[in-house]
Amino acid sequence: MKGLLNFGQMLSAHARITPSRVGARDLERSMTFKQWNERSCRLANALLSLSLNKGDRVAILAYNCVEWCEIFAATAKAGLVALPINFRLIGKEVQFIINNGEAAAFIVQDELVGVVEEIRKDISIKANRFIHFGMRACPAGYRDYEDFLAAGSARDPSQNVDLSDPWTLMYTSGTTGNPKGVVRSHRSAVLLSMVTEIELGLHRNDGALLVMPMCHANSLNFFGAFGYCGGVNSIYSRKSFDPEHAVRTLAEGGSTFTSLVPTHYIMMLGLPQAVRGKYNYDDLTKLMISSAPARPETKREVMEMFPNSGLFELYGATETGWVTMLHPHEQFTKLGSVGRECVGAAPIRILDEAGNEVPDGQPGELYCCNAHTFDCYWRLPEKTKEAFRGDYCSVGDMARRDDDGYIHLSDRKSNMIICGGENIYPSEVEALVGAHPMVKDVAVIGLPDEKWGERVHAVIVPHDGATLKESDLLEWSKERLAGYKRPRSYAFIAESEMPRNATGKVLHRELKKKFSN
């Protein structure tokens, strides 16, 4: 792939060709391609001045803001690996990722310094490699981000970065409770950007409003595509989603595209008609709905609210990038499907447990094969091996193919809960709730929720004679779990009522059936 540029190199090209065009912004600030490139070069050189070596991981803990654009570009230019961390995680969860990913430097937004300070003595990053940015004064023990950039050279670093080198290490929860690091190369990112541009018909006059967290693969992947084609990346720099503010930003912010989870759309659809109807959405031409199952009625209402916007739906994963896409003209004829393979991909395979292809219409495990699949799970060769059958990759999702070749998801990763677009694995929640001294057994399931898609529900078997209240468990989980992972509701049952198979394994599906009614 001689001549193919990675993201950092492509940013330099845009800065040379269209220096005065706005390339990146958030709700408060904006940068031309020239400014963005210069600041990214300064950051890249400043990081290298800390004696970081090619391939070293740079952790980032921040809310959505324009600095993400600089950090992703700087790591690409310097041959370093960006390690984004979900800002919703608690200290111990952040600590695991930092230590497991062997981060060599840490860039932290001021409002999240408290999380870092909780664990600083327990993470293996050198004292002079903590970098702080934000509106507040730089605390002791951190380098000030702006001073750090100013000390770096504005010239492109002379690092020899190959397309096969890793660019990102993103952690996704694992069914064992510990998150797994997903390693993706520059080649993977570039090829996925090209696929996205083809599927959506993007060009440099397009702009993305990136609402989902920049620490998620969804926003990172669209960020790469719009940055690669020279469009504008607009970061929705709010800590929480305000539906009326989001609607106004979509109408007045100049973006042509956004990607939202069903919960976001449901919140906007819930606004009074007087609010929804007072804005003009003509600039908005492309909408994406993804990251969680979308009900047909939700999609219909979205298309009614934004009549000039084509609605796309995609299915993918952190490991695989985009797998399928459903296009606007297919929404009514194939409502309920997630589309067909994205351009350039080999035909999807739907396999039974023995690895045999199942007939159309029958459910099986979905395997995909494309050029932008991840390289490996960080330090987990056996897990990497389990994910592949030859060149085909699976993340454990069940699906069926209809007679027209469209894919319908029939199940998700075993027992996984998707709440507001966040993946939650019951085993992790069960381990922490089950550590309560009065809990004898616990099973965690996802129950339907009109706003969030699913909510976390814990089914508890108390120890004999124990008096256990819901308030006790709410307080217990508050200290041990990120907010989006905490059970929102509880049920208390006798041990004999917990459904199990012949080997004693809890049957989560039976519980879902029972408590969904």
Look at residue 334 and tell me if it is in a domain: no
**Which among 200, 280, 291, 208 is positioned nearest to 247, based on CA atoms?**
280
Number of separate domains in the chain: 2
Last residue of a domain, one of 121, 145, 180: 180
Residue 198: both structure tokens together: 């083809």
- pLDDT recorded at residue 175: 41
Is there a contact between 14 and 230 (Cβ–Cβ < 8 Å)? yes
Cα separation, 70 vs 76, whole angstroms: 10
Residue 214 has pLDDT above 90, yes or no: yes
Look at residue 455 and tell me if it is in a domain: yes
Look at residue 348 and tell me if it is in a domain: no
Last residue of a domain, one of 151, 180, 209: 180
Residue 419 has pLDDT above 70, yes or no: yes
Look at residue 238 and tell me if it is in a domain: no
Lowest-confidence region among 30-34, 134-138, 201-205, 411-415: 411-415
Q: Which residue has better confidence, 346 or 465?
A: 346
Domain residue limits at 502? 418-516
| Cα Rg, the chain, nearest whole Å | 23
DSSP string, 362-415: S-EEEEB--TT---EETT-HHHHHHHEETTEE--S-EEEE-TTS-EEEEE-STT
Residue 302 has pLDDT above 60, yes or no: yes
Instruction: CATH number of the domain at 443, please.
Output: 3.30.300.30
Per residue in 119-148, is it b (16+ CB within 10 Å) or e — as a string?
bbeebebeeebbbbbbeeebeeebbebeeb
Cα separation, 509 vs 500, whole angstroms: 10
Per residue in 209-242, is it b (16+ CB within 10 Å) or e — as a string?
bbbbbbbbbbbbbbbbbbbbbbbbbbbbbbeebe
- pLDDT recorded at residue 172: 86
User: Distances from the Cα of 381 to the Cαs of 19, 186, 387, in angstroms?
Assistant: 44, 21, 10
Look at residue 115 and tell me if it is in a domain: yes
What rounded mean pLDDT belongs to the chain?
A: 93
- pLDDT recorded at residue 413: 59
Cα–chain center distance at 43: 24
Look at residue 244 and tell me if it is in a domain: no
pLDDT tens-place string over residues 393-411: 999 888 999 999 999 987 5
pLDDT tens-place string over residues 2-33: 678 999 999 999 999 999 999 999 999 999 99
pLDDT tens-place string over residues 143-171: 999 999 999 999 999 889 999 999 999 99
Residue 263 has pLDDT above 90, yes or no: no
Residue 174 has pLDDT above 50, yes or no: no
Look at residue 373 and tell me if it is in a domain: no
Beta partners for residue 357, in sequence order: 351
- pLDDT recorded at residue 57: 98
Residue 56: both structure tokens together: 């070293």
Residue 243: both structure tokens together: 């539906």
- pLDDT recorded at residue 363: 87
Last residue of a domain, one of 180, 212, 246: 180
- pLDDT recorded at residue 176: 44
Cα separation, 366 vs 311, whole angstroms: 24
Instruction: CATH number of the domain at 148, please.
Output: 3.40.50.980
pLDDT tens-place string over residues 230-240: 999 999 999 98
Residue 473: both structure tokens together: 């468990």
Look at residue 371 and tell me if it is in a domain: no
- pLDDT recorded at residue 356: 96
Q: Which residue has better confidence, 253 or 505?
A: 253
Cα separation, 502 vs 395, whole angstroms: 26
